[in-house]
Amino acid sequence: MKTGVKYSVIWIFSLFCYIDAAFRCDYKYSTGAKGWFKHVVIPATWADARLHCTLEGAILASPLNADIEAEMKHVIKNFFTAESEIFTGLHATVSPGDFYSIEGIPLNEVPLAWAENEPNNAGNNESCITFNGNGEMADRSCLETRPYICFRSGDLKSDANHCGTIDPEYRLDQRTGSCYKFHTVPRTFERANFACSAEGGHLAIINGDTEATVLKELFAKYPAGKMVGNFWKDVAFIGVHDWGEYGDWRTIHGKTLDEAGYNKFSLGEPNNSKPGERCGSIYRSGLLNDLWCDRPAPFICEKSPDHPPVCRALKN
């Protein structure tokens, strides 16, 4: 059940009436660097780190000036040794050897020193740059996994909407008290879950006939002609799968479909067609279907209006 929505929305609107800068509470504002920082301790490849930050409304941080560098060094030294390395947004993934930040700043304009014996482009495969607590750079493989820092400039003035996010595609539905977003760019089930989580939500979970109607109506706003690409456009992933045991259909939060409140499969489903359909989806009818987890499909995210909470920047 989704409760407390009315008061959460009022709180969010009240907050934004009186502040200059606000963002997700899992980010901390630095008055020196004039921006929001989040240290992600779970290592990821450079590509996943970049995408994670982007989906949260930020970018993969680069030490582009002394203030940002100081904040990044402070974060590293609080969690690791000074020699520990994190990924930065500096990369040469477009063309080898041409390093730029995510913002498009060329490497020769970044005032940092290289670590000893760096850069060396070991194996002719080092197109991403790391940063350590000593303020030193090194080139590394983008496929390695490392912690990283996401950054959002305080100069960006986007306000959170009634869903508690700067993403305008999330819309609150009063019937359920939840916010929803339909992703037309297809992803595998795993990557769809990654995207929803980074956006502060989860793959949509149907808790009853009313919510099934909500998702059916949302799906109807995206006819096949609005989706670009060669993929099945009459199904969309939601937050259901079999947890590795075919037939044990549960939500991604561990509830059986009956416990969640909706267990209505389309006629003839689930059928495990061409064995491997172990992830849940809905048809345009709002009825459930089993689908191949590794084949990209559209998907629907759901989030609470008050998660993650929104915080104001503390000014000195």
What CA–CA distance (Å, rounded) separates 292 from 281?
10
pLDDT range class, residue 90, cuts 50, 70, 90: very high
pLDDT range class, residue 16, cuts 50, 70, 90: very low
pLDDT range class, residue 314, cuts 50, 70, 90: low
Indicate whether 277 pLDDT > 80.
yes
| Mean confidence (pLDDT) of the chain | 90
pTM to 2 decimals?
0.83
- Residue 253: which residues within 8 A CB-CB, separation 6 or more? 202, 205, 239
Q: Are 50 and 89 in contact (CB under 8 A)?
A: yes
CA distances from 305 to 24, 65, 144, 171 (A): 12, 35, 35, 9
What CA–CA distance (Å, rounded) separates 24 from 41?
17
Q: Which two tokens stand for residue 142?
A: 């983008």
Indicate whether 45 pLDDT > 90.
yes
Inter-axis angle of helices 46-55 and 189-198, to 10 degrees?
Answer: 50
Q: Please state which of the ranges 16-30, 52-66, 70-84 shows the lowest mean pLDDT.
A: 16-30
Q: Which CATH number fits domain 171-303: 3.30.70.380, 2.40.50.140, 3.40.50.300, 3.10.100.10?
A: 3.10.100.10
User: Apex CA 130: angle with CA 125 and CA 136, to 5°?
Assistant: 120
Q: What's the average model confidence in pLDDT over 3-26? A: 50
Indicate whether 4 pLDDT > 60.
no
pLDDT range class, residue 256, cuts 50, 70, 90: very high
- Residue 310: which residues within 8 A CB-CB, separation 6 or more? 12, 15, 16, 22, 23, 24, 25, 160, 164
Q: Which CATH number fits domain 33-153: 1.20.1250.20, 3.10.100.10, 1.10.10.10, 2.30.40.10?
A: 3.10.100.10
pLDDT at 236: 98
What CA–CA distance (Å, rounded) separates 37 from 27?
5
What CA–CA distance (Å, rounded) separates 279 from 290?
6
Q: Are 105 and 124 in contact (CB under 8 A)?
A: no
Closest to 128 (Cα-Cα) out of 102, 153, 154, 151: 102
Phi-psi region of 213 (alpha: psi -120 to 50; beta: other; left: phi over 0): alpha
CA distances from 99 to 120, 125, 152, 227 (A): 14, 13, 21, 33
Residue 265 DSSP class: B
DSSP H or E run through 289: strand 288-292
More confidently predicted of 181 and 244: 181
Give pLDDT tens digits for 234-244: 999 999 999 98
pLDDT at 152: 94
User: Apex CA 61: angle with CA 90 and CA 171, to 5°?
Assistant: 120
Phi, psi of 52 (to 5 degrees): -60, -50
The CATH 3.10.100.10 portion of the chain extends over: 33-153, 171-303
